[in-house]
Amino acid sequence: MDSRSALGRNLTFGLLDVLGRMIVTGAYDDKPFPIEAELSKEHAVSRSVTREAVKMLAAKGLLTARPRQGTIITPPSAWNWFDTDVLRWLLERKFSLSLLRQFTELRLSIEPGAAALAAQAASPAGIALIQRGFARMEAAEAGADNPLTSDIAFHVSILEASGNPFYAQFRDVVATALQTSIQFTNRYRGRSASLPAHKAVMDAIIARDDVTAAATMRELIADVMELIQEATEVEGEG
């Protein structure tokens, strides 16, 4: 397969994905980022496609243009970690317990609050969304749904049911990072997500018990943090 075919149908987004992954995985760590003409030739695309992909990478914080230096790769601290493409590339780069721990710390700050708000103010449609997410988890337990996507659907439904648009905006970030988190916990624990623990969160929300909703969600995520800590002690990754 040639370079152009490897980019897929949408050349701009294909090049964006290829270059973004290369930047995050360190392909350019020991050399300067190529100029536009070199990128166009290497990936067999037009200058306009290359220019647009580079602009998109700059918008994600991965690149910046400086006078007399050209386009350079920025340090990871400048990257937009809330951008789902950036997060996906980071997670694909190399499985990292440190990154997983940091993401779980973020979840501990966000999801209990969202659960409490859902208990306080979720609409009937929001409650139904959470119930559908849990029903999918039950179906997955019986082999009739995907364990990964159903678990993600449950957690995302609570963010959306919170009624707070700021919490709801985290849904794409949570969904992207949970793919790695759930796969890790399932592999490390040797079983799928705990239905009783998730049901306790749902029941508290339905009962409009915001304190219990937050506490049960916190316990659920803290269980993940404990597994990460156990794995860190075994594998020695800080």
Residues 72 and 103 in one domain: no
* pLDDT tens by residue, the chain, 238 residues: 445 555 545 889 999 999 999 999 889 988 999 999 999 999 999 999 999 999 999 999 999 988 777 899 999 999 998 898 998 898 877 667 888 898 899 999 999 999 999 999 999 999 999 999 999 999 999 999 998 999 999 999 999 999 999 998 899 888 888 888 888 887 777 656 789 999 999 999 999 999 999 999 999 999 989 988 988 888 765 5
Residue given tokens 């849904």 in the structure block: 171
Residues 66 and 99 in one domain: no
Quick one: pLDDT at residue 1? Answer: 45
Residues 101 and 166 in one domain: yes
Residues 6+ apart with CB under 8 A from 34: 42
**Residue 165 counted as domain residue:** yes
Residues 146 and 215 in one domain: yes
| Tokens at 24, concatenated | 């995050």
**Residue 141 counted as domain residue:** yes
**Residue 87 counted as domain residue:** no
CATH number at residue 30: 1.10.10.10
Quick one: pLDDT at residue 134? Answer: 98
CB 101 within 8 A of CB 155: no
Residues 153 and 54 in one domain: no
Name the DSSP class of 66: E
Q: What is the extent of the structural domain holding 161?
A: 95-235
Residues 73 and 122 in one domain: no
| Tokens at 96, concatenated | 């990292």
Residues 117 and 219 in one domain: yes
CB 191 within 8 A of CB 182: no
Residue given tokens 């219990």 in the structure block: 212
**Residue 173 counted as domain residue:** yes
Rounded to whole angstroms, how far apart are CA atoms 16 and 49?
9
- Which pTM was predicted? 0.81
CB 146 within 8 A of CB 140: yes
Rounded to whole angstroms, how far apart are CA atoms 158 and 152?
10
Residues 13 and 50 in one domain: yes
Domain count, the chain: 2
Exposure string of 118-155, with b = 16+ CB inside 10 Å and e = fewer, is bbeebeeebbebbeebbebbeebeeeebebbebbbbbb
**Residue 176 counted as domain residue:** yes
Residues 60 and 145 in one domain: no
**Residue 200 counted as domain residue:** yes
CATH number at residue 110: 1.20.120.530
